[in-house]
A and B are shown apart, each in its own frame.
Chain A
Amino acid sequence: MYRLSLAVRYLLTRPVNLLGVGGILISVWALVVVVSLFSGFLRVLEEHVRSATSDVVVSDVPEWTEWNTLQAALADDPNVAAAAPRLLHYGMLIPPGRRPAPAPLPGKSALHGGDQPFLFVYGVDAALEATATDMQQWLDSPEIPEDLRAADTATPLAAISETPAVLIGLERMLREGLTVGDPLRLTTARMVRSEDGRSRPVKIEIDLRVGGAFRTEHGGFDGNNVFVDIGTLRAALSPDRPGSVQEVAVRVHDKQQLEETAQRLSRVVNRVTEQNGRAFGRVETWRERNEQFLANVSHQRGLMKIVLIVIMVVAAFLMLATLSMMVTEKTSDIGILTAMGGTPIGVTTVFLACGVVITVAGVSLGLVTGVLTAVYLEEIRQAMLWSTGVDLFPLDVYNLQRVPCRIEPAWLLQVTVMALLTGALASVIPALRAARHDPLVSLRGI
């Protein structure tokens, strides 16, 4: 009883101990806010990436594979709902007669892609693509202005004035001032084996017209990719292989069985693509396909945790210093407490209780303020923007509606336990010093 009571008195009469509380508070607050922000950001990124990727993607399909054979084999799997063929190529997309734009400076558009004319070209069967991906939603996105929307989103790649259509990301269309029907030229190349047995690049130019805009949640995808009809791309790249396919987008019935389905499909693709005893093709779930991209953010979150835990250790040292000062000041009390019936353990507990009170106060305040800050992060951002003009978290850079936040109870628990342990460790050293102090020395008034 007296230990806690005395510890609280000691703390209340020494404002310097607020440093310890403040240190723990700040470190807990930062750990809660920053990690909640990163977790929210990671979740939003996952949603964005998810919206632009099919459930399962079959890639690296060799050129000799016939789409009809592969489609039939994939369709045999009970969990496959739809599959769509793709040809994947690259090239420069610029209006005819214009020079390519200069390389972009680092910034928002560079992050998203889309500043440079060099991009990836997906050759797709629009009808099948809409069954295997969310292409219909990309085309029907309410954010696409009517004058940039495809004339008929059910057949978005239908030729315009007998010229093949191309679907372009909304941001790119707006930035380049393109409208539906504008002429563009895709300049690319393909490797052709000549008579001497060497491969040489041969320039290909495909005249296209803007068919309309699409918009996924994933800005990077929209900025770097365009869609054309698979027949157009086949005719230019592999005219002698009318059934060629490089990639297949697959939609599954049961999303809970993605991994199992991908494993099964991998065996199917290997069987279909096998040649000379060697299997080809790669099958990935949407998460595996974007693993590196998502892992980057996840690694950044891990790095931030380490940095912030270091702040907590610094706070613990601050607490250790203030408690040590207090023990030095209170040696006289150690003597009288012992005389009145205190044991060395009892006296130790008084100073340990000081540390515990500081830690508990710091952790409690840190958790409360941290959770409140995380919950109202968007409102705080807006208030900062309104009052100072500083945008702490520019939403358009990340294609977000509001500052993301995800409070994970398990992380709150981890932070609490970590802070309590750190605080307890920092309290033990001064408390042991108090216990080692000879009470008779202070009673003699030496």
Chain B
Amino acid sequence: MSTEKPPVLHAADVHKSYAIGNRRIEVLRGVNLTINAGETVALLGASGAGKSTLLHLLGLLDSPTRGEVQFSGEATSDRSAAYRAKLRNRHIGFVFQFYHLIPELTALQNVLLAQMMGVSVLGYWRARRRSHAAARQMLERVGLGERLHHRPSELSGGERQRCAIARALLANPSIVLADEPTGNLDSQTAAGVVELMFSIQRERDLAFLLVTHDESLAQRCDRIVRMKDGVVIEQEQVR
């Protein structure tokens, strides 16, 4: 089913290496991976396999040393930092293990921040009521309707991750990249967050790339991609 939909992200022979002192560390060594619209993909692998590096490359946060990352069929490596930032803002949502909420902002403001970043002062001012309503709705959807004006320090771990999910989804992205989203949560809270993510994914027919160590979580995805030593060693179509 997923193969019938157009690709959102495509990594073509992607290499990534870092220089540490005189040594050159090859983190990714020719990765080929396609994520189609509405598809959920789990990226599994041991620590150091290159999962997070691949996620950052696919999220246009970094550029490959060699190879190409395409977004909706468009090559991105030769595009400016500003253009790639715009693509991230409008089409890619991120969820991280450590939430990365801005501690000075309330839950509502954290969710609105991405919206504010994408528009001019005038543009934001014109659309502020709509944006606020959408952010409230999104927070209500993730179960934080009563916690709109709480700061991250006043939220539990699960609530913070829900807030991060709401933030990632507000701009209605084509794909959400989640880097071990339950890695910092207890099992019960993690189950709730996972349930929420998949239900929203189904509602919106979003593409999801989940970096995880959790085999059971991976089994809920459409496809499982296994990595080892910087290469994809196996791709398993689950459903």
Could you tell me the distance between the alpha carbons of A410 and B218 in the complex, rounded to whole angstroms? 70
Which residue of chain B has its CB nearest to the CB of A12? B104
Among B59, B81, B113, point to the contact of A344 (Cβ < 8 A): B81
Which residue of chain B has its CB nearest to the CB of A445? B98
Q: Known contacts A340-B114, A342-B85, A343-B85; is A1 also within 8 Å of B61 by CB?
A: no
Which residue of chain A has its CB nearest to the CB of B95? A339
A343 touches B100 (CB 8 A): no
Which residue of chain A has its CB nearest to the CB of B53? A440
Question: How distant is A1 from chain B, measured CB to nearest CB, in Å?
Answer: 4
B117 touches A332 (CB 8 A): no
A440 touches B116 (CB 8 A): no
- Taking the complex as formed, is A5 at the interface, i.e. its CB lies under 8 A from any CB of chain B? yes
Among B62, B94, B97, B103, point to the contact of A340 (Cβ < 8 A): B94
A interface residues, tally (CB under 8 Å): 28
Q: Known contacts A341-B114, A344-B81; is A13 also within 8 Å of B61 by CB?
A: no
- The 8 A CB mask of B182-207 against A (1 = contact, 0 = none) is 00000000000000000000000000
Residues of A within 8 A of B167 (CB): 340
Q: Known contacts A9-B105, A332-B100, A344-B81; is A339 also within 8 Å of B59 by CB?
A: yes
Among A337, A338, A339, A341, point to the contact of B90 (Cβ < 8 A): A341
- Taking the complex as formed, is B67 at the interface, i.e. its CB lies under 8 A from any CB of chain A? no
- Taking the complex as formed, is B150 at the interface, i.e. its CB lies under 8 A from any CB of chain A? no
B52 touches A339 (CB 8 A): no
Residues of B within 8 A of A12 (CB): 104
B61 touches A333 (CB 8 A): no
- Taking the complex as formed, is B96 at the interface, i.e. its CB lies under 8 A from any CB of chain A? yes
Question: How distant is A258 from chain B, measured CB to nearest CB, in Å?
Answer: 56
Q: Known contacts A439-B61, A440-B61, A440-B62; is A336 also within 8 Å of B100 by CB?
A: yes
Could you tell me the distance between the alpha carbons of A9 and B101 in the complex, rounded to whole angstroms? 14
B61 touches A341 (CB 8 A): no
- Taking the complex as formed, is A386 at the interface, i.e. its CB lies under 8 A from any CB of chain B? no
Residues of B within 8 A of A341 (CB): 85-86, 88-90, 114, 117-118
B61 touches A340 (CB 8 A): no
Q: Known contacts A339-B59, A339-B88, A443-B56; is A1 also within 8 Å of B120 by CB?
A: yes
Q: Known contacts A341-B90, A346-B85; is A2 also within 8 Å of B52 by CB?
A: no
Residues of B within 8 A of A5 (CB): 116
- Taking the complex as formed, is B82 at the interface, i.e. its CB lies under 8 A from any CB of chain A? yes
Which residue of chain A has its CB nearest to the CB of B55? A443
Residues of A within 8 A of B105 (CB): 6, 9
B113 touches A2 (CB 8 A): yes
Question: How distant is A284 from chain B, measured CB to nearest CB, in Å?
Answer: 61
Which residue of chain A has its CB nearest to the CB of B100? A336
| A-B contact sample (14 more), CB < 8 A, given A6-B104, A444-B52 | A1-B120, A1-B124, A5-B116, A12-B104, A336-B101, A339-B61, A340-B88, A340-B167, A341-B88, A341-B90, A341-B114, A343-B81, A440-B62, A445-B96
What are 27 sample pairs from A and B whose C-beta atoms fall under 8 A apart? A1-B116, A1-B119, A6-B104, A6-B105, A9-B102, A9-B104, A10-B104, A332-B98, A332-B100, A333-B102, A335-B100, A336-B94, A339-B61, A339-B100, A340-B114, A340-B117, A340-B167, A341-B114, A341-B117, A342-B117, A343-B85, A440-B61, A440-B62, A443-B61, A443-B96, A445-B96, A445-B98
**Interchain residue pairs A-B with the least CB separation, the first 9:** A341-B89, A336-B100, A2-B116, A9-B104, A340-B114, A1-B121, A339-B94, A343-B85, A13-B104
Give me the interface of B with A, judged by CB distance under 8 Å.
52, 56, 59, 61-62, 81-82, 85-86, 88-90, 94, 96-98, 100-105, 109, 113-114, 116-121, 124, 167, 179
Give me the interface of A with B, judged by CB distance under 8 Å.
1-2, 5-6, 9-10, 12-13, 332-333, 335-346, 439-440, 442-445
